[in-house]
Chain A
Amino acid sequence: MVAIDAMIDALLPEWPALPPERRMCVSADCTRFVRRQIALSPAHIRFGIHVLFVAFCLFAFLRLGARPLGSVPRERRTLALRAFAREQVAPLVALERVLRSMTIVAYLEHADVLAAIAEAPLSASDPLHVEQ
């Protein structure tokens, strides 16, 4: 798994729950979509995304050790990404937001995800009514 694919995979929501093999398939489709979207974006925005992506790779290298991002477990990649965005440097947050936005569009319109949502019971935890 190349670095950007690993990053997009780490951005996939946990909800709805998908069987692992379905999730891999959805992840691959989402990655294809996000890559295509980046390729379509205006050159100056695409350049910014690439620069920030390199910054994240350096950050992940320091935080996760000298190994390919794709070989790091998903949970650790997700934590690294969260820590990266938590730096509160606007461009770093923007990178995470742009990639997550595109990932989530592809994810929430994926046929497998829509099928899982249709089958899922309504949220039992009812997060709208906690932490008032």
Chain B
Amino acid sequence: MSGTVVIEGPTTLTCDVLVIGTGAGGASCAASLADAGVDVLMLEEGPYVPAEVAPRGLAEALPTLWRGGGLTATLGGTPIAFAEGRCVGGSTEINSAIFQRAPDEVIEHWAQAHDLPDFSPQALSPLYDRAAASVNASLTPGPLGPPTDILQRAAQAMGWNTTALERARRESSSPRHQVSGFATGAKQSMSATLIPRALARTARLVANCRVDRLIVEKRRVTGAVATASDSQGRRHRVRVNASQLFLCAGTTQTPSILRRSGHRKNIGLSFQVHPTIRVLATFSEPVNAQRHELPLVAVTEFMPALRFGGSVFTLSAFGLAVAEDWPVRKRYLPDFAHCAMYYAMIRPDGVGRIRTVPGLAEPILRYQLTERDWRRLRDGLALLVRALLAAGATRVIPSMRGHPGWTDADRVEPDLRYGLLRDRVALMTIHLFASCPMGRDAELFPVDPWGRLAGIDNVIVADGSVLPGAPGVNPQATIMALAYRATDNYLSARR
């Protein structure tokens, strides 16, 4: 009964609980439901690429695992390039597997601002523990290499606090997950952990199956209409009948599915990202970042408003940074062994909107940074550049077109006194959330504190979209914790 389902023609499937999406939220829900013996069917828009055959380079990963082949960006004043997974396991298959809990003050702020009962650092702690155990979140043993040492040294030079980063990993000598910044160790994404666990129990999975719309009758969803692609690329209509829906399609797709299904109230009006600016730092001594773990320390001195960390460094990832401003940076390409990449990431005030357009498969995302966000990015960039120069960087080049980089820390503040050049800066993010935020007031928030969708009786939303706002850290742990919370609440009501 359990296992993957192959679609070869028009099909009607029936299940007790339908889970749409298999990322951090969907996989956590499906595994918990399967543990409880519930008949679960998972639908995933992208392909199933089991961990043992995961792509080893970006050129293979981008078309296979990334939404839109990685060519996705928000529109608005300054476009922000964003990355989302589109495969079984969702974004956990393409991220760096950093596992961080939301800071206590952020959780307390969410609880107060959104009137969330039983929502405190203490209440969420066991859920975070469960999420950590699911993916074996742990510190990477042994020397971590120059990229980490440089950031540590930069923080020490400035007198800043740092935190060692846990990752979803297990010991292995395989270099398979280098594309995610692993020098050694196997990444514990959803396709390596909770998806196989759910499939080994009572869950079924249909991959390459995109949900077109939900079937809504009165105040209940009775199923979904989807389009599945078979191994020959032929498309087949699939209808799924279910008595309960867990909608976990991710921050951009969950609001899209709801809007396509005619449910629009407060949906997709408040999504947020962590705007991030990257710098490329050069050193006189070899760093050989491509041979080491990505920096596994974060500067937490200015958390939650601002955080510094390090980027995955493979030759092609470095090439992407060089391509941002080819005329200025192309000369660094042959000296990749002397370079490393770091970033400043802010917790923003700005919000965006997610809209669906008839005829377009993908939603349009608009996002606008506030003046305070721009100031934070500017301040973050200035601090990061000064710290890296203090740590021995010979030059630090920001993601600003035409900028030759700084070699002298005293030049940074004067050069940035008028702020960032908004038409030249390249911003990016891999963290998206809060497009259907949870809150007590059904007039203001589309989802209640346990993820139940307002206006429909049998839909629970459990993915990045329900986060009340920006956590200031990688959201995977929080998504998993809130998915466990929503599933536990559902299962206890069901008994």
Contacts and interface: CB of A to CB of B under 8 A. Distances in A.
A71 interface: no
A123 B334 CA distance: 6
Nearest to B357: A44
A3 to B, nearest CB: 19
A1 interface: no
Contact of A107 (B284, B319, B326, B360): B319
B361 A42 contact: yes
Given A44-B360, A45-B68, A107-B319, A128 B333 contact: no
B70 interface: yes
B403 interface: no
B351 to A, nearest CB: 20
A90 B423 contact: yes
Contacts of A110: 59
A45 B63 contact: no
Interface stretch (A18-26, A50-58, A94-102): A94-102
B158 to A, nearest CB: 23
B270 interface: no
Contacts of A64: none
A85 B62 CA distance: 25
B407 A108 contact: no
A69 to B, nearest CB: 19
B304 to A, nearest CB: 31
A37 B316 contact: no
B156 interface: no
Contacts, number: 112
Given A101-B323, A128-B394, A132-B407, A13 B71 contact: no
B331 A43 contact: no
Given A41-B72, A82-B327, A93-B401, A104 B335 contact: no
A62 interface: no
B323 A100 contact: yes
A33 interface: yes
B395 A41 contact: no
Contact of B59 (A85, A90, A105): A105
Contact of B315 (A93, A97, A108): A108
> Which 4 pairs from chain A and chain B are nearest by CB?
A40-B69, A42-B362, A41-B71, A104-B319
17 contacts: A16-B334, A37-B63, A40-B68, A41-B71, A43-B361, A45-B71, A90-B423, A93-B401, A97-B323, A97-B326, A102-B71, A109-B59, A117-B315, A122-B335, A127-B332, A128-B394, A132-B395
Interface of B: 57-60, 62-63, 68-73, 79, 282-284, 315-316, 319-320, 322-324, 326-327, 330-335, 337-338, 357, 360-362, 364, 394-395, 401, 404, 407, 423, 426
Interface of A: 13, 15-16, 33, 36-45, 82, 85, 90, 93-94, 96-98, 100-110, 114, 117, 120, 122-123, 126-129, 131-132
